[in-house]
A and B are shown apart, each in its own frame.
Chain A
Amino acid sequence: MDWFFNFPDMSRSDLREFKKTVDFAFTDFSRTYGQGIEEFFEPLLMFLVWFEKLFINTPWPVIIFSILLLAWIGSRSILIVVGTFLSFMLIGYFGMWEDTMSTLAIILVATFLCIAIGIPLGIAMARNNKVQAAIVPILDVMQTIPSFVYLIPVVMLLGIGKVPGLIAVCIYAIPPIVRLTNLGIRLVDKDVLEAADSFGANYWQKLFGVQMPLALPTIFAGVNQTIMMALAMVVIASMIGVKGLGLPVLRAISNQYLALGLMNGLAIVILAIIFDRVTQKFGLRMQKYRNEGKD
């Protein structure tokens, strides 16, 4: 009855052998292809460095003015613009300007990458049920797997630095935009699509003329979520060498600096709130035609 009380597991030596094999295989893989993959990401790294420098080296009044302008264009709300202004003044006053700029740079690049990859993926999923069935489980894994677990292979392949950090952020942040693009397109009224069909619209005319515009509010909710999740990854990304607001937080955790942790943590929260309010207002404005409706 031994098997009843003790799980009939693999022998220890076999298990060790198994882990070793996997580890060696991946080490071999990263030795052979690591160089090539790193070269592949070289342009991205250059861009990232340039973009971050741009944010840090531009005089602060110019940056604040541009941010306020964008906040206004996005939200058309004085309240949000004033709030943004005060927030950034506070951040700067407490000496977190440079870190905030680094974080802003990586968040923007990550968001841009997620949109560029995620929206086409979502469109492909909406077009074909098989593609959807293949991608959904991958997204599930990406959203539930502890971030530290996928940091290991990424770091083994690319080492410590901005690019692996960016990849980690993207893996974490891309699922909502993919899911919501797919959902948004699938939720477009079948009657309206039938009408487009009956007038002889082809696939692309339907996609860009009917489906995407009508799915835009949903897609934008996805963009909003992607930005929020990217911000949430800032601290973890700093563990593998991404500069910004996450690094002081990490330092504060290991040294129990309450004030430092709180300040930088709150700065991340402020960024999140500003992004969220501005993008949400923008999303609402895009469905103006719905809100003006009679019924």
Chain B
Amino acid sequence: MNSKNILIKVNQLYKIFGDGDKSALDLVKNGMGKDELLEKSNCVLGLNNINLNINRGKIQVVMGLSGSGKSTLIRHLNRLIEPTSGEILFNDTNILNLTSKELIQFRQNNMSMVFQKFALFPHKTVLQNVGYGLAIQNIAKDEWSEKAQKWIKRVGLDGYETYYPGQLSGGMQQRVGLARALATDAEILLMDEAFSALDPLIRSEMQNILLDLQSELHKTIIFITHDLDEALKIGDRIAILRDGSMVQDSDPQEIIMNPADEYVSDFIKDINRARVIQAKSIMTPTNTKSSGATVKEDMVLEDILQIMSDAPSKPVTIENSKGKITGKIEMVNLIEGMKRPKSLGTNITG
């Protein structure tokens, strides 16, 4: 990975909640787990030696069950929570060394956040909510309301400027939340289970809005979720947390094909593999054309099945986005790919 593409680097980050966190830190560094620590020192292990590189302009998903530390991790990035030890580099500046004034500047200019429970200001109108990040920078009202207006329009809430959040539905409220985060033009967008509180249809709609915006804006997005389907849909990279430790951090396809351990395979066991695994993950590499149809390497198995069902005996040709042939898939590969992997933890990637 080219280090120039890395925007945020999290190094050896530890967070321990509770009194005496310094002595507890030594215990954790010597390999003590979450339950044991709680029993021994009455401290809660939030994050355990997290190392994460977040690429510029990509969507980094952080996944885990509740209590796994994902919300704690994202709050370290803008220092809503202070770590016990470790460093967080943003463009080679350690965020943890910022003075409180610099931190405020950093939050105003570089990062904005979307919250699970929306966290809109109930006493402010939609327009004032969206413009909030700008208004507190003492930008003139004309200027911020114009920008806010633009983003309200962009998320499809035209005409709702004078409404209060309480008058809007959940999905609309989160659009306001998204617009509020985008309005500051911050390079980094932190999304803390942003769509988890929405019902499935609205959630899917919001995911599409986000992907649509991302194709245009190329923000660096850190997206927290507990929903694997969501992670696979929007993530360029997925990190999985368990009890405060990073279990796996890799390409989404890699997670499905090679889950690092039992915990990860538990996560992926209920997904519809045919709908998420792409051709490139199961193809046999070759550069010669096969007898069947030609498909792109990011096509999912379900669609390939559709094509192959017309001529099951003919293997399909796989080509990359530039039209170069990279492999072939036979029916037997397809079936093998849809099957859950038997041997777990054989091919751990980090």
Contacts and interface: CB of A to CB of B under 8 A. Distances in A.
Given A191-B117, A192-B119, A194-B115, A292 B164 contact: yes
A29 B252 CA distance: 79
A8 interface: no
Given A289-B122, A290-B166, A200 B117 contact: no
Nearest to A202: B104
A7 interface: no
B133 interface: yes
A290 B107 contact: no
Interface centre among B121, B169, B180 (most CB of A within 10 A): B121
A294 B169 contact: yes
B164 A199 contact: no
Interface stretch (A63-71, A115-123, A178-186, A207-215): A207-215
B322 interface: no
Contacts of B119: 189, 191-192, 194-195
A205 B115 CA distance: 20
> Which range contains the number of B residues in contact with the other chain?
20 to 34
Residue picked from A195, A201, A213, most chain B C-beta under 10 Å: A195
A293 interface: yes
Contact of A289 (B78, B112, B164): B164
Given A194-B80, A213-B123, A200 B108 contact: yes
A214 B168 contact: no
Contact of A200 (B121, B136, B190): B136
Interface in A156-201: 189, 191-192, 194-201
A192 B121 contact: yes
B80 A197 contact: yes
A293 B121 contact: no
Contacts of A191: 115, 117, 119
Nearest to A287: B123
Contacts of B132: 196, 199
Given A292-B164, A293-B164, A199 B121 contact: no
A40 B106 CA distance: 48
A289 B119 CA distance: 15
A209 B132 CA distance: 10
Given A192-B121, A202-B104, A295-B166, 20 more contacts: A191-B119, A192-B122, A195-B113, A195-B115, A195-B119, A195-B120, A195-B121, A198-B78, A198-B107, A198-B190, A199-B107, A199-B108, A199-B132, A200-B107, A200-B108, A200-B109, A209-B136, A289-B122, A294-B168, A294-B169
14 contacts: A191-B115, A192-B121, A195-B121, A196-B121, A198-B107, A199-B107, A199-B108, A199-B112, A199-B132, A200-B106, A200-B107, A202-B104, A210-B121, A289-B166
